[in-house]
Structure 1
């Protein structure tokens, strides 16, 4: 299996499918940021939902939640079978498919082109913080699970936000800084892909699925892999793995569409009930925008394949604070505000480092989730009361 071809193909398809997702609450120019993020398929969906009114928007939220849940379930099944057929680590596929936030990249480009670099940076930091403080925390609270991550993966995970410190201290982020961050992102993801191919046993080898697979993915599906209708559809071609990759791309497209539907419906609901300027309204919107990542983490854990969930968390955080921030700097320089230096970035570093320690301990426990979620809640309160807003990514 040529991993580079897989990555390139996945990037092209997902970028074509991805569309801007506006931040719930940005730093300066928040409302303008939202307006700049509208357009394309997302704008059409939002316009359609707005015509339905608040009641129709609630229905759109329900439909989006159902579609998202269905597609996440399918993506888990498809990636598991693709890993078997293509002899690729499931953790590798999870990093590529769920860790790279293509919609955030498109949003960063749109915001940067509209002279809203501050909002784009806030969204990138907010995404990294929400992935840990909401997604990973909820996964641990709902269903604690064992973790079998190499130490170097945990170090890369913790190092991502810390790497931003010298750049932020410089005061102004330039194209050179952006290229350096993008370089780290490519090296980090490339290292994980190559490392997984060389391992004798896959990440999370202590799970039912992990015990049945080699690092190359193996060739025989374990008994714990429940049958799905698509097994009969694919038939004898299932061993190649490529039909499952094609189905995984379709499932990913469904997830993107459902996320857009959720965002459009949530904005109409929040505005229709007069919640847009309240903490409650922002909280509701944020919860909906992070629902995709929550599902992509909790569902794999529930189904006994935590490597997908943790791959989503590690990949999303690394991408948000390195690759996504790097993309923003390619278009324009960014003046770092004092709040980023004194509060937002330190918060991301604290929560990510603590999460890395919990992952390193070998088991993510319920109280770990409570601590991470509690810190995120404190961050929200302080940010709103002291700094007047929270940079949130969805």
Structure 2
């Protein structure tokens, strides 16, 4: 599907690609807004964890998995690994940083969740030290991904508080189980259709699936349009071109983090960040080795992976403090910019996420 979309957009020229970018941005914004509304209603109606739903719906980077498989099949395993590491860095250095800068927000995450988040990149270290990764290593990383996500979801179902206690939504949940309507649940047109039906929670969950499909399709439009625009203006070999491309390719995660924070349900945004990083450094890397062996370059061991480890650990420390502040965002974003500059000047390139 991505190939078909890219071919269509390319045939429209630069002007058509710009229009596709606009359409993709509008569609993505609408679908993200709908996903937030649907997930929040589903969590409250089904009395399950909104954080767990956020991890499942936004943490799995399906498009990155497909891209990793395609690159691996085309003997571009190094590029696939770079994409996985680049995604992990961009989720923290762009999406989480922007969310904190735009609107600082409270965080209520159990210590074991924060520890898993901080230690996840370290799982790659023994594999990278091996030098050449094989099918067996891929199975081990995919297994680590399944165990990690399974643990998080199981723990969420055991918690007494299904949402962050100190968020706007959490404060609206009364001690007797009653719920007033917070700002995050401001009325939408679908309420008139779904509200009176039996088992509305499952209907909201089904609508969330359709919203997620719309987000993936909108991301494909953004990716195809951005590539054509960057190529058309001759920016593909410049720092600016790479920066523009990366911003566009991570726009989906930016929206899935910033919008929930803005609407008072940061558990969706934090679930997206934690889930995406965990998936990128375990399942996504593991998928690469399922098709072919991967020889680790020296720059991964000496620079790219250490950067992921340090930035993730720093973000985990900020999350553990109970509130993500504006200066946290500036620091994380600044480290990401420094990483780019060093990578381009010293190593001649940066892993591009998307």
Q: TM-score range by the shorter chain?
A: over 0.9
- What is the aligned counterpart of 2:75 among 109, 115, 138? 115
Q: Are 1:247 and 2:214 an aligned pair?
A: no
Distance 2:299 2:168 in 1: 45
Q: Which runs of 5+ in 1 are unaligned?
A: 1-40
Distance 2:209 2:173 in 1: 23
Paired position in structure 2 for 1:142: 102
Paired position in structure 2 for 1:352: 312
SS in structure 2 at match of 1:241 = helix
Paired position in structure 2 for 1:156: 116
Distance 2:22 2:326 in 1: 28
TM-score, with structure 1 as normaliser:
0.87
Q: Are 1:207 and 2:158 an aligned pair?
A: no
Q: Is the 8 A contact 1:154 1:359 kept in 2?
A: yes
Q: Is the 8 A contact 2:24 2:221 kept in 1?
A: yes
Structure 1 residue 276 displacement after superposition: 1.1
Distance 1:383 1:234 in 2: 51
Q: Are 1:193 and 2:144 an aligned pair?
A: no
SS in structure 1 at match of 2:261 = helix
Q: Are 1:94 and 2:54 an aligned pair?
A: yes
Structure 1 residue 208 displacement after superposition: 2.1
Q: What does the per-residue CA deviation read over 1:157-183, in whole Å, with 9 as the maximum and x for residues that have no partner?
A: 011101111111111112222222112
Q: Are 1:222 and 2:187 an aligned pair?
A: no
Distance 1:308 1:145 in 2: 12
Paired position in structure 2 for 1:322: 282
With 343-352 and 191-200 compared, the bigger mean Cα shift is at: 191-200
Structure 1 residue 306 displacement after superposition: 0.1
Structure 1 residue 240 displacement after superposition: 3.4
Q: What does the per-residue CA deviation read over 1:48-98, in whole Å, with 9 as the maximum and x for residues that have no partner?
A: 211221111111111111110000000000000111122210000000000
Q: Is the 8 A contact 1:202 1:213 kept in 2?
A: no
- What is the aligned counterpart of 1:237 among 197, 204, 213? 197
Q: Are 1:176 and 2:136 an aligned pair?
A: yes
Paired position in structure 2 for 1:20: none
- What is the aligned counterpart of 1:363 among 323, 346, 349? 323
Paired position in structure 2 for 1:286: 246
SS in structure 1 at match of 2:282 = helix
Q: What does the per-residue CA deviation read over 1:5-43, in whole Å, with 9 as the maximum and x for residues that have no partner?
A: xxxxxxxxxxxxxxxxxxxxxxxxxxxxxxxxxxxx111
Distance 1:213 1:220 in 2: 5
Distance 2:173 2:316 in 1: 25
Distance 2:143 2:5 in 1: 35
Q: Is the 8 A contact 1:219 1:239 kept in 2?
A: no
Structure 1 residue 219 displacement after superposition: 7.4
Q: What does the per-residue CA deviation read over 1:319-350, in whole Å, with 9 as the maximum and x for residues that have no partner?
A: 00001111111222111100000000001001
Q: Are 1:104 and 2:64 an aligned pair?
A: yes
Distance 1:153 1:105 in 2: 23
Distance of aligned partners of 1:381 and 1:226 in 2 relative to their CA distance in 1, 3 Å threshold: same
Q: Is the 8 A contact 1:87 1:219 kept in 2?
A: no
Measured on the aligned residues, the alpha-carbon RMSD in Å equals 1.5
Q: What does the per-residue CA deviation read over 1:90-123, in whole Å, with 9 as the maximum and x for residues that have no partner?
A: 0000000000101111111111111111111111
SS in structure 1 at match of 2:186 = coil
Paired position in structure 2 for 1:50: 10
Paired position in structure 1 for 2:236: 276
Distance 2:57 2:40 in 1: 12
Q: Which runs of 5+ in 2 are unaligned?
A: none
Distance 2:19 2:172 in 1: 42
Distance 1:132 1:238 in 2: 40
Distance of aligned partners of 1:335 and 1:223 in 2 relative to their CA distance in 1, 3 Å threshold: closer
Paired position in structure 1 for 2:259: 299
